[in-house]
Amino acid sequence: MTSICEIFCGVFLLLYILQPAYSFSSRTFVGKYFISNQELKTIKVQDWMGCLKHCHEEPLCISYNFDKGLSKRCVLNKHGIEDFIYADSDLVDDAGWIFHQLKPVTKRTNKSRNMIPCQCNCGSSNQCYPPPPGLGDVPEKAASSCKEILEQRRQAQDGAYYLQASPSYKVYCQMTPISDCGDEGGWTLVMKINGSKGTFRFSERYWKEQDAYYQEKYGGDLSEKETKLKTFQLTSFDDMCLGMKTLNDIKWVKIALKRGQQNMEMFPIFQKPYQFGFKEISKEKWEGLVESNLDDTQTDSGSNIRNDKAKVRIGILASKSYIGFGTGGAMGNISCGYVRTDTKQVQPTFGYILIR
């Protein structure tokens, strides 16, 4: 099948090249995907020939990407490779695709060659040329983590970026450092928890299962809306940056996986039997999250900690108090925050879990 198409397509191409109206030789790249700032549309076609025909018949189509794999997707582009100053970086390696530029760029887009590249994506596309999308900016350039994006793009701003999965998805990346979590950014959002709600209590399935929760709606920012992202099972990490909102500001603390457990995902940590955990940090650091003190009894901290009155997915537990994320038990009915029974304090907080 494929070889028949390749012959047909070849003939078709030849006709193109021979047409006197086009003193333009079309360009075909196998194993490449062209990222256009303006895609006309994506359609499903039978084969390569179908994609070529669609682009030929659509007056605005300059080039197309054809997915050789099962999806047979055909992406029609308004642009050709001369349209981009950084043409090479827009033609990315992707073994499953074919890029084919059928027509020369139009006058309008050709003019843009004389423009200078913009320093930022700051609007007014008339005076300058938009920079090509970088790692994480478009689904085709999805990254494995926010850290990977920051390593390639030191100037990347805080915001939502595409991470790899099928299909890829948008995730909030904290690119600028959070001082209490060290002087490097590149943190990937995993969860946001409203301690007054029951969604992420200790016993809820979200800790044990892979389901996301309002990922598309609330996973792209730090707004106070509960979410759980696929990063829970897809993004591996060494360090975790935990935040709790008290009054108006968010307090943060950094914890690391135990030695020998680096580079793993959140998901297995909460699976029984519990065998993974975090390195100890001081009681004072945990207390800093809520600006309140635990009682003076012995504490246990890390992941999946419990006594007869309380259970904590991540946090610290004493006999009459705790500070934690994903909490439960008789001590207090909150899912995130601080509880101390001897002083009768129950302080639900809004919690953030980020990893790197």
- Which residues would be at the binding site for ligand NAG (CB under 6 A)? 104, 107, 110, 113, 194, 196-198, 224, 333, 350
Minimum CB–partner distance for residue 256 and ligand NAG (Å)? 28
Minimum CB–partner distance for residue 189 and ligand NAG (Å)? 16
Cis peptide before 273 (omega within 30 of 0): yes
Minimum CB–partner distance for residue 227 and ligand NAG (Å)? 12
Q: Which of 255, 282, 261 is CA-nearest to residue 181? A: 255
> Nearer Cβ to ligand NAG, position 107 or 259?
107
Minimum CB–partner distance for residue 113 and ligand NAG (Å)? 6
- E strand spans, 199-318: 227-228, 239-246, 249-256, 300-306, 311-317
Using an 8 Å Cβ cutoff, are 66 and 48 in contact?
yes
- Give the bridge partners for 350, in sequence order: 194, 245
| Full DSSP string of 46-88 | SSHHHHHHHHHHSTT--EEEEE-STT-EEEEES--GGG-TTHH
Minimum CB–partner distance for residue 4 and ligand NAG (Å)? 33
Using an 8 Å Cβ cutoff, are 282 and 299 in contact?
no
> Nearer Cβ to ligand NAG, position 199 or 233?
199
Residue nearest to ligand NAG (CB): 198
Minimum CB–partner distance for residue 108 and ligand NAG (Å)? 9
Alpha-helical regions (H) of 70-203? 87-90, 107-111, 146-152
**The two structure tokens encoding residue 7:** 């012959």
Consecutive H or E run containing 171: strand 169-174
> Nearer Cβ to ligand NAG, position 174 or 194?
194
Minimum CB–partner distance for residue 197 and ligand NAG (Å)? 5
> Nearer Cβ to ligand NAG, position 24 or 267?
24
> Nearer Cβ to ligand NAG, position 56 or 197?
197
**The two structure tokens encoding residue 180:** 């209490």
> Nearer Cβ to ligand NAG, position 206 or 350?
350
Cis peptide before 167 (omega within 30 of 0): yes
> Nearer Cβ to ligand NAG, position 195 or 302?
195
